Every structure is written in C-alpha cells, then in structure tokens.
Chain A
Amino acid sequence: MTNHFSYRSALSTSIRGLLARTVKKSKPKSEIPGSQNANITDTRYQIIKRILYETPKPELPKMTEQDLEKHETIDRAWKLFLRNQQEERENELAAKYRMLNEANLELEKLGSRLFNSAQIGNKIMMFPRQMKIPTETPPLNGWNYDYKPPSSDPTKPLSSDPTKPLPSDPIKDSEPLPSDSNKVSS
C-alpha cells in the first residue's frame, strides 16, 4: 500500500534544503523596510512615527487637596506596612543566625573532629534540581508519595522512567577531611 504522505520524507534534509533555496521567496524591494526603494506611503511608518514622537508625556495627576491628603495617607500606610514586613523578616533571620552561631560554638567546644568535619563546604556548591521555588498554584498531581530510592546495583536502570532527575546525595565530599589523625579506622 503506497502511503501518499511518504513522498516528502523520501528526500533527505540536505536535498530538501537545496530545493528550498533554489525556489527563492524573496520580498519585493519596496516592502523591505529601510531600503531606498521602500514605499513611503506605507501606513505603518505613520503609526510608528506617531507612537514615537506624538504620545503625550505622562504628567503628574491633578489632585484636589482632599485627594492629595488621601493619597499621602495611603502612601504612608503602605510604607509602614512594608517596614513592618521587613522588620519581621529581619528578626526571623537574626534569630536563625543566633541559633546557628550558638550551635557551632558549642560544637567547637566538643573537640576538633566533629567541628572540623562540619565546617567544610563544597568547592562547587550544587543545589538539587528538585528544589523548586513556590508557584501561583500547586501541581495538578499533588505530592509524589511514591518515591523509591535508587537501587545500589549500577547496571540496573534507576527507575521505570530514566528521564527523572537523580535523587540527591547528602552532600558529596569534594574535599578530604583536614585532620586524618582523628579518624578512627572503621
């Protein structure tokens, strides 16, 4: 059974490109904007000129005294609202930092092994692809409860869908521990 739609795909892409180029579809010179033979009577030029040069300059709104008072009150209330929000955020961060600092100072007191291993960072900081910022509305499928950890056998495929992003490890060790003398052989 001959397929009527197959004649197109019988040609390779290179041959098709060649054919397309031989059949030129160029615009007439009068239509190309900016060329010397351009048609000046084209209405689009008038529209563009009007928008560029003749749009009215935005002026300050003319408000009565009462209106202005209202506007200024609203403005002050808004600024206060933003200031309060900012303060709340700052206080939360300050409290978190205080806890972090205290924890690390206490850890230092315990001795060098745990503290030193805690202070290492990765040379190349990588965040998991699954870490997403909040959106306007939630995903249609909701939370994925059917997560399975990857199998330890590297020859087996990780999951039924190989295009899924790999689960993240608890931080890859990019640098060795600085004091190997404290390390107890397991």
Chain B
Amino acid sequence: MFLQKLRYRIFKQNKISFFSRNQPISQKSQSDILNLLKSDKNEVHEGYRIVAGIVLSRTPIILRDPHPFEREYYLYQQRLEHIHAPPFPVDFYFKKGSVAEKKWREKKEREKAEASLAFGSRKTKNKTSSEKNGEEETIDSSDVSSDEEEIKIANKITSADLTNDVKSLDRALQHTLYLIVKKPRETHSWQFPQGGVEKTETLVQAASRELEEECGNCMDVWFVGRRPIGYYKYDYPKCFVKDNIEYKGAKVFFMAAHIFAGQVKVDNKEIIDFAWVTKQEMKNYVHTEYYEAVKDMLSEH
C-alpha cells in the first residue's frame, strides 16, 4: 500500500499533467533547448570551435617585369650572338623579287640607321630595339603596314593601380591578390572570411557555404582540393561568448580557393567591408599576430 503511494507520487512528479501541457514553457528552459540544438550543430573540440577559413586568391594575370639585371644580361647575350652568328640566308627565306623580300630589306636598312644613331647615346638603343612590348600602348606605326590590322594591347599598369582602389580586381596584375574582410568590431577587424563547421559537413563544404553567406554568390570560385592549407588557433577574449555557448576559442582551418570572375557582395551583417590585397599590403590591414600566423601560406608574387 505504502509502495503504491510512493509510486503514484513519483509518477505525478514526473508526468506533465493534462492542464499544464498546453501552458508555454518558461523562458529559461526555452533557451536551454535552443542551446542544445545549437551545440548539436557546430563542431567543437576540447572547448574550441572548429572554423573553416577561406584564403581566396586572384592569381597573377600577367608575367612579372624582368629584373633590371635580367634585362641587361639578356641584351648582352643577344649582342654576343649577333656578333658571332653565321650570315642570314635571305635568298632561302625570301623569293627573289617578292614583296616580303622588299619589306625585309627595308627593315634591315631602318635597323642599321637606328644602330648608327645609337652609337652616340646607348640608352635610346636599348629602348627602341629591345623593348617592343613594354609600357607602350600602341605599336610603332612604321612596323605596321596599311594591310595588317593594328593589334590593340592593354596597359600593364591599370587605372586601378594608379588610384590604389583596393576593391578592384584589376589592380597589381603581376601579383597574387587575397581577399580580406572587415568585421564590425574595433580590434582584429580585418581577417580572411571564416565560419563555423557544422556536424554534417566536411571542411570544404563549410568553407564554400560560409563564403557564399558572407561574400555573396556572385563569384566564380574553385576550391583547391579538400585539404586545409593552414591552421590557426586563438582564444576568445573572456567577455565573448557566441550563441550563449561558452567556447574557449576557435581552431581555424584555412582552405585554398581561386576566383575567376565576379566580385564580393558584402552582407552587412557579419561583414561590413572587403579588400583585395597582396601579401605585402596585408600587413597594413590585419593584426600583426594574425599576419605572422598566416603569412607562410601566401605567395610573394
């Protein structure tokens, strides 16, 4: 009899009575449930949040300018070869009396004239004979005949270079540009885009999703394999706790990606600004500690 009463009392304590079932759950227990759901979603290891970062790079579009010593050395070698080369068999390559032969002979006459002029000033000779496709926009009109079409060549130094527009992807065409984003906070604001890895995702999937969320989907991006290229572990400042869950800090795994077209679209929630910078310029934006941890992943050129 006593046991039955005990059992009934326990049963009553545990069971939600018919009347209380429809009442709203208290605020505190509601947030607890939400916390449970959120912690189930994110990957955590030893109190550190697992985060996928994205090193999105725009590879160089043009070849690097030759070093001055390189230029001089190649000129020197060219001159040596010209001095010691066997005579050019004009009659083999050009049919006697043809138009091509006439053009060739004219070209040789012009070069001789230029060479005789250049004995006075050596600098001009270097510019006219060797640098045919340097910083000049159009080809010499004397080289192009009226029959051939004029080939248009774009400038190696673009308007974005001159105005130092950090958002432009036409800047620094000889170097690799990396995407960094600005978070709405005072310290450590500039960094690579990153975001938490969920429990059902791989690293690449998380990286791709976070990039799309933070920087928009108007970019043609390709991820280089599934392996992370870098690792950075940092502790959160004591006052910071994300989503009501206590994390000690984060472990970021950086994934490499390339951009082929498009531009970043700021979502203004997690990211408020962006910039495309070279490895050397990144020092001016990013915190020194972050830069030291991250610089070895990046290319100098």
Q: Are A103 and B221 in contact (CB under 8 A)?
A: no
Within A144-186, the residues touching B (CB, 8 Å) are 144-149, 167-168, 170-171, 183-184, 186
Q: Are B225 and A135 in contact (CB under 8 A)?
A: no
Q: Are A96 and B297 in contact (CB under 8 A)?
A: yes
Within B273-289, the residues touching A (CB, 8 Å) are none
Q: Are B228 and A138 in contact (CB under 8 A)?
A: no
Q: Which of A74, A99, A128 makes the CB contact (< 8 A) with B222? A: A128
Contact with B along A40-60 (1 / 0, CB 8 A): 000000011011000110110
Q: Are B231 and A106 in contact (CB under 8 A)?
A: yes
Q: Are B227 and A118 in contact (CB under 8 A)?
A: yes
Contacting residues, chain A, for B231 (C-beta < 8 A): 99, 102-103, 106-107
Q: Which residue from chain A places its CB closest to the CB of B72 in the assembled complex?
A: A74
Size of the A side of the interface (Cβ < 8 Å), in residues, is 59
Contacting residues, chain A, for B220 (C-beta < 8 A): 130, 147, 167-168
Complex CA distance for A137 and B80, rounded to whole angstroms = 29
Complex interface: stretch among A7-15, A20-28, A31-39, A109-117? A109-117
Contacting residues, chain A, for B91 (C-beta < 8 A): 47
Complex CA distance for A160 and B299, rounded to whole angstroms = 36
Q: Are B60 and A78 in contact (CB under 8 A)?
A: no
Contacting residues, chain A, for B59 (C-beta < 8 A): 131, 134
Contacting residues, chain B, for A168 (C-beta < 8 A): 220, 222, 260
What's the least CB distance linking B103 to chain A, in Å?
Answer: 20
What's the least CB distance linking A47 to chain B, in Å?
Answer: 5
B73 at the interface (CB under 8 A from A): yes
B3 at the interface (CB under 8 A from A): no
Q: Which residue from chain A places its CB closest to the CB of B231 in the assembled complex?
A: A103
Q: Are A95 and B296 in contact (CB under 8 A)?
A: yes
Size of the B side of the interface (Cβ < 8 Å), in residues, is 69
B292 at the interface (CB under 8 A from A): no
B203 at the interface (CB under 8 A from A): yes
Q: Are A137 and B154 in contact (CB under 8 A)?
A: yes
What's the least CB distance linking B40 to chain A, in Å?
Answer: 9
Complex interface: stretch among B107-115, B180-188, B194-202? B194-202
Complex CA distance for A55 and B154, rounded to whole angstroms = 42
Q: Are A138 and B73 in contact (CB under 8 A)?
A: no
Given contacts A95-B296, A118-B203, A120-B226, contact A110 B62 (CB under 8 A): no
Ordered by A's residue number, 20 sampled pairs between the chains whose C-beta atoms are within 8 Å are A47-B92, A95-B296, A102-B230, A104-B228, A106-B231, A119-B226, A120-B226, A134-B59, A135-B62, A136-B62, A137-B153, A137-B154, A138-B158, A142-B154, A142-B158, A145-B169, A168-B222, A170-B204, A171-B226, A184-B200
Closest 7 CB pairs of A and B: A147-B262, A130-B260, A103-B231, A147-B261, A95-B296, A117-B202, A103-B228
Chain A interfacial positions (CB closer than 8 Å to B): 47-48, 50-51, 55-56, 58-59, 61, 74, 77-78, 81, 88, 92, 95-96, 98-100, 102-104, 106-107, 109-111, 114, 117-121, 128, 130-131, 134-140, 142-149, 167-168, 170-171, 183-184, 186
Chain B interfacial positions (CB closer than 8 Å to A): 43, 45, 50, 59-63, 67, 69-70, 73, 76, 80, 83-86, 89, 91-92, 133, 152-156, 158, 168-170, 173-174, 197, 199-200, 202-205, 207-208, 217-223, 225-231, 233, 251, 253-254, 258, 260-263, 296-297, 299-300
Given A78-B73, A81-B69, A147-B261, 16 further pairs, Cβ under 8 A: A55-B86, A100-B227, A103-B231, A106-B231, A111-B45, A117-B226, A131-B258, A138-B61, A139-B154, A143-B170, A143-B261, A145-B262, A147-B219, A147-B220, A171-B226, A183-B200
